[in-house]
A and B are shown apart, each in its own frame.
Chain A
Amino acid sequence: MADTAKTTHPQPAGRPEKGAEFGYVGIDAILEQMRRKAMKQGFELNIMVVGQSGLGKSTLINTLFKSKVSRRSVMPSDEERIPKTIEIKSVSHDIEEKGVRMKLTVIDTPGFGDQINNENCWQPIMKFINEQYEQYLQEEINISRKKRIPDSRVHCCIYFIPPTGHCLRPIDIEFMRHLSKVVNIVPVIAKADTLTLEERDFFKQKIREDLRVNEIEVYPQKEFDEDSEDRMINDKIREMIPFAVVGSDQEYQVNGKRLLGRKTRWGTVEVENTAHCEFAYLRDLLIRTHMQNLKDITSSIHYEVYRVRRLNENNTHPSDQPNGHSNGVPTHEVLSHEM
């Protein structure tokens, strides 16, 4: 694509071919414009990691973004103890690659599933996600809105399943059932170097079966496939979820190359080797191919569902609020409900 931002008709060098250059308007140049603008603005991505302590969540995030972006790396004094209640800890970083800047926020949930009684352990997480939606909603219905509303909505929630090899546990099902309705859930099998290939396939099958029986829709959701091309790609992904991942932030020499891996006495697990584990597929999905799709689904579907519900709630109780939303005037006395 030539530098055709200013002119609509490129000056052809020599005789123009019949019909070709004459008809070229240059609409496709808009892609280049968008690209430039996006590079200037930068991207935002908010990932939440959920799972029991010790499943390698922080290591996986570090491996995904090839830098120390997790909560552990930022606060080294945070010793490895199990908190008594679930905490939500959010860490933001600006990372840059080839001129593209990204503001990455990793939201960690220490304490999930670690107690003896784990009933309602998803509620704090649900509350947090809804709070982010509420914050965005408030900014959106402001009279004088900011040019770019800071987007703190959770785009993706990676759920770590412990590699028991049998099937999903009740806590997994409860969590995913509640949260698949408000956020994109990407389930992964953590610490997959403890399963042989047959055990891994069997486990995945059982998990897919459990998800189907409980009617849990994880990302990529079937109902949001836009066209047949999307469906084909997403079907291939759906055959492979949940991804069996191994994370590592240490490099070892293997066959003359330095690779990220885990070295044991019987061999070295290479993180980026697709024959060993599926980390590469997860990374491609999250970052290289479907990142924008995750953000789109969050903003156009999950957020809209929340927004419609909130607006309807306010409309059905006009007596409670002096100024309902029906006339577009925002009221900041709106309470944020717990869903």
Chain B
Amino acid sequence: MDAIMLQEKLVERLLCARGRTTRQKDKQYVGFATLPNQVHRKSVKKGFDFTLMVAGESGLGKSTLVNSLFLTDLYKDRKLLNAEERINQTVEITKHTVDIEEKGVKLKLTIVDTPGFGDAVNNNECWKPITDYIDQQFEQYFRDESGLNRKNILDNRVHCCLYFIPPFGHGLRPVDVEFMKALHEKVNIIPLVAKADCLTPNEIKKLKDRVRDEIERFGIKVYQFPECDSDEDEEFKQMDKELKECTPFAVIGSNTVVEARGQRVRGRLYPWGIVEVENQSHCDFVKLRNMLIRSHMHDLKDVTCDVHYENYRAHCIQEMTSKLAQDNRIDSPIPILPLPTPDAETERLIKMKDEELKRMQEMLEKMQQQMHEKDTC
């Protein structure tokens, strides 16, 4: 925050009336040091979006963790199936979207849930609906990007996938390995040890070491934290090192607030003690939250755009060109996409819809403000 205020002061000085002495000093400033500030202001206006996928067997605390991370209750009306209904269940993909605002910054958060994963007796290829979904989002973005009207592209690509590993085993199970190998080149995978309150500190350490070993052994490419630059200060580097050594994070989630040490905290009440979700010595929830939201959210999005999406795109284009070569069409330097080129009629319709959307968004904002004012007074 201090850096931003400094930038603002700088801008002020540049724009306001100048005296003689200041003019001399100004000769040394060009003024583009304020660029980050400008970008910052523009993005705050636009708002951010983030798509998070949670995957893992049922009963590992995925919904509870999501609620704890974002301090919301996304799963109020959820109906859990019982065992006979689950026998014939296939893996579904459900999406929940919520708009969160904090200190003027808007975030449109989409949680993609995968109920039914790993629950059946025969779990062969149970990750296929998930890979299909991710590919679908890439394909849709690809088409939109290659289209003619690119103003309002909706980015539904999955930026991060939290994979929940059960704490009961002795490491990765076959289904865990297969899932991660099917997805590690399509999405950023962050493996987590779920329900970590059933493990003693020694057991957690053993399990983490085993999981890290197995991830390396099977060649699974999970999300790697970017290296810090050598000119960062020591404290930051230390924190970064701790973060890297802590993966996979052992997390605990909670929907309830309990009283511990005189404060009301999110936690779980047992007859033998109280587990606090935000206590760093109890679990790695705080580290996960800081990493996911406070420090690496943007990097996750960047890696998705620059690495996974580009891989998909390159693969897609290659397939198309090879198909074209097979069909013996004219060799064009630019691959021709099998898209219907919109004619004037559809162009007009698109423009109309755009304006309608803008109007509706403004109306929604006005209503939200009115409700907010009603609440405050």
Report whether B83 and A172 are in contact in the complex, using a CB–CB cutoff of 8 Å: yes
| Interface locus among B7-15, B194-202, B219-227, B321-329 | B194-202
Taking the nearest CB of chain A, how far is it from the CB of B68, in angstroms?
15
**Bound-state Cα–Cα, A119 to B281, Å:** 41
| Complex contacts, A210 vs chain B, CB 8 Å | 82-83
Interface of A (DSSP majority class) = loop
Q: Contacts A266-B273, A268-B272 given: A169-B124 contact, CB under 8 Å?
A: no
| Interface locus among B19-27, B98-106, B263-271, B362-370 | B263-271
| Complex contacts, B198 vs chain A, CB 8 Å | 163, 191, 193-194
Taking the nearest CB of chain B, how far is it from the CB of A176, in angstroms?
10
- The reply on B340 being an interface residue by CB < 8 A is no
CB nearest neighbor in A for B169: A54
**Bound-state Cα–Cα, A287 to B270, Å:** 28
| Complex contacts, B169 vs chain A, CB 8 Å | 52-54
- The reply on B70 being an interface residue by CB < 8 A is no
Q: Number of A residues whose C-beta is below 8 Å from B?
A: 49
Report whether A194 and B121 are in contact in the complex, using a CB–CB cutoff of 8 Å: no
Taking the nearest CB of chain A, how far is it from the CB of B268, in angstroms?
6
Taking the nearest CB of chain A, how far is it from the CB of B365, in angstroms?
40
Number of A-B contacts (CB under 8 A): 123
CB nearest neighbor in A for B202: A263
- The reply on A267 being an interface residue by CB < 8 A is yes
**Bound-state Cα–Cα, A332 to B366, Å:** 89
Chain B residues 162 to 178 lying within 8 A of chain A, measured CB to CB, are 166-171, 173-175, 178
Taking the nearest CB of chain A, how far is it from the CB of B228, in angstroms?
29
Q: Contacts A52-B169, A82-B174, A213-B84 given: A116-B123 contact, CB under 8 Å?
A: yes
**Bound-state Cα–Cα, A92 to B358, Å:** 76
| Complex contacts, B58 vs chain A, CB 8 Å | 164, 166
Report whether B84 and A173 are in contact in the complex, using a CB–CB cutoff of 8 Å: yes
Chain A CB within 10 A, most for which of B168, B171, B199: B168
Report whether B178 and A193 are in contact in the complex, using a CB–CB cutoff of 8 Å: no
CB nearest neighbor in B for A162: B168
CB nearest neighbor in B for A171: B121
- The reply on A214 being an interface residue by CB < 8 A is yes
B 188-221 to A, binary, CB cutoff 8 A, 1 in contact else 0: 0000000101111100000000000000000000
Report whether B271 and A197 are in contact in the complex, using a CB–CB cutoff of 8 Å: yes
A 145-180 to B, binary, CB cutoff 8 A, 1 in contact else 0: 000000000000000001111111111111000000
- The reply on B282 being an interface residue by CB < 8 A is yes
When the two chains form the complex, which single residue of B57, B171, B271 contacts A80, counting CB atoms closer than 8 Å? B171
| Interface locus among A33-41, A269-277, A310-318 | A269-277
| Complex contacts, B170 vs chain A, CB 8 Å | 53-54, 80
- The reply on B39 being an interface residue by CB < 8 A is no
**Bound-state Cα–Cα, A196 to B282, Å:** 16
Q: Contacts A172-B83, A210-B83, A266-B274 given: A116-B201 contact, CB under 8 Å?
A: no
- The reply on A55 being an interface residue by CB < 8 A is yes
When the two chains form the complex, which single residue of A116, A170, A172, A269 contacts B174, counting CB atoms closer than 8 Å? A116
- The reply on B120 being an interface residue by CB < 8 A is yes
B 152-167 to A, binary, CB cutoff 8 A, 1 in contact else 0: 0000000000000011
Q: Can you list 9 A-B contacts (CB < 8 A)?
A: A52-B169, A55-B168, A163-B59, A163-B198, A190-B168, A191-B168, A263-B200, A266-B273, A266-B282
